[in-house]
Structure 1
Amino acid sequence: MKVQIPRGATEVKGAVRVQPQENVYLLSFVTTERTAQEITEDLHPDYPLAAEGPSSSSLSGQGFEHLDLTPPQELTNVRTTSACPPCAGDSRRRHVQAVEIHIAAASGDRVRVYLTAY
Structure 2
Amino acid sequence: MDYISHSSPHGNDNVGGVNVYPTPITLGEQINVIYDGLLFNSGAQEIYLHTGYGVHDRWQDVRDMKMLRTGRGWEQTFQVTEPSRINFCFRDNAGNWDNNSGHNWSFEIHDGKMY
Normalised-by-shorter TM-score class: 0.3 to 0.5
TM (norm. structure 2) is 0.33
Q: Pick the structure with more helix per residue.
A: 1
RCO higher in structure (CA 8 A, sep ≥6):
1
